[in-house]
A = this chain, B = another copy of it.
């Protein structure tokens, strides 16, 4: 189902700047029993992205009412929110005096994940496509996603659930559709810095902010592939799949998925991610 500026629709104006330039932002949210999980945090990130991209957008009340409407009667679904700078003009300049951001809401069926991905952990592809550096765009969930598209299309095997992406300087950054943590001795969780590239995920930030409750400490820093191979555990996280413990990255096998499962239960209990 789609709501375009509040109206049911199946198509969008050919002049929308989201299509021409990727001049927009998005959020992907798990909806369980009509409730979008962590909605406040997603809307806060959306607004912060609007500020970074200099969109004149603050219609949060309207958006909230459209979200309620599209989530009604959903048992378990994925909600995608797109906000673009609006419709009009040729050229990079947003020069229509009446340029008004476009709101697009869509619900999708819950995705089918590989069997036993939670109990046995996932298999991960090491992507050759790299993330470029741009501090001006890093962190936010904008519509310029060609790097992820190219990376995700490197493999077809349905048993491989995620791909690990490095940046152009060989730093580990994230999955194609998720953030990641590695686990070091003394219950230390480490996640890559996303100030040059990558997305600052909602689940990632929740784990950073709340892991002390599980007696973990967290650190945000540069991580190399060697660090990953030296870690006892690794997991990916996003708002829909929740926690994805890693069984195998390329030929490297991780011995355990204990921390991932513990953190997963904690996040479910806080309604940050969906129960299976």
Q: Judge whether B21 and A143 touch: CB under 8 Å.
A: yes
Q: Judge whether A149 and B23 touch: CB under 8 Å.
A: yes
Q: Judge whether A132 and B129 touch: CB under 8 Å.
A: no
Give every chain B residue within 8 A of A26 (Cβ-Cβ): 20
Give every chain B residue within 8 A of A4 (Cβ-Cβ): 14
**In the bound complex, what is the Cα–Cα distance between A23 and B150 (angstroms)?**
9
Stoichiometry, copies per complex = 2
Q: Tell me how far the C-beta of A194 lies from the nearest C-beta in chain B, rounded to whole angstroms.
A: 13
**In the bound complex, what is the Cα–Cα distance between A14 and B1 (angstroms)?**
10
Q: Tell me how far the C-beta of A74 lies from the nearest C-beta in chain B, rounded to whole angstroms.
A: 15
Q: Judge whether A151 and B14 touch: CB under 8 Å.
A: no
Q: Judge whether A153 and B93 touch: CB under 8 Å.
A: yes
Q: Judge whether B146 and A142 touch: CB under 8 Å.
A: yes
Q: Judge whether A132 and B134 touch: CB under 8 Å.
A: yes
Give every chain B residue within 8 A of A2 (Cβ-Cβ): 14
Q: Judge whether B21 and A10 touch: CB under 8 Å.
A: no
Q: Judge whether A93 and B152 touch: CB under 8 Å.
A: yes
Question: Most B CB atoms within 10 A — which of A11, A135, A136, A146?
Answer: A146
**In the bound complex, what is the Cα–Cα distance between A10 and B13 (angstroms)?**
6
Q: Judge whether B142 and A82 touch: CB under 8 Å.
A: no
Closest to A137 in B: B146
**In the bound complex, what is the Cα–Cα distance between A22 and B148 (angstroms)?**
11
Q: Judge whether B146 and A91 touch: CB under 8 Å.
A: no
A1-23 to B contact mask, C-beta < 8 Å, 1/0: 01010000111111011111111
Within 8 A of B (CB), among A71-119: 78, 80, 82, 85, 90-94, 104, 106, 108, 111
Within 8 A of B (CB), among A119-155: 129-137, 142-153
Closest to A90 in B: B108
Q: Judge whether B133 and A133 touch: CB under 8 Å.
A: yes
Given contacts A11-B12, A14-B2, A14-B106, contact A20 B146 (CB under 8 A): no
Closest to A16 in B: B19
A53 CB-CB contact with B under 8 Å: yes
**In the bound complex, what is the Cα–Cα distance between A106 and B144 (angstroms)?**
22
Q: Judge whether B14 and A148 touch: CB under 8 Å.
A: no
A262 CB-CB contact with B under 8 Å: no
From the candidates B9, B133, B177, name the one contacting A92 in the complex (CB within 8 A): B177
Residues of A in contact with B (beta carbons under 8 Å apart)? 2, 4, 9-14, 16-23, 26, 53-54, 78, 80, 82, 85, 90-94, 104, 106, 108, 111, 129-137, 142-153, 168, 176-177, 197
Known contacts A9-B14, A92-B149, A94-B149, then 4 further A-B pairs from the complex at CB < 8 Å, ordered by chain A residue: A11-B12, A18-B19, A92-B176, A93-B153
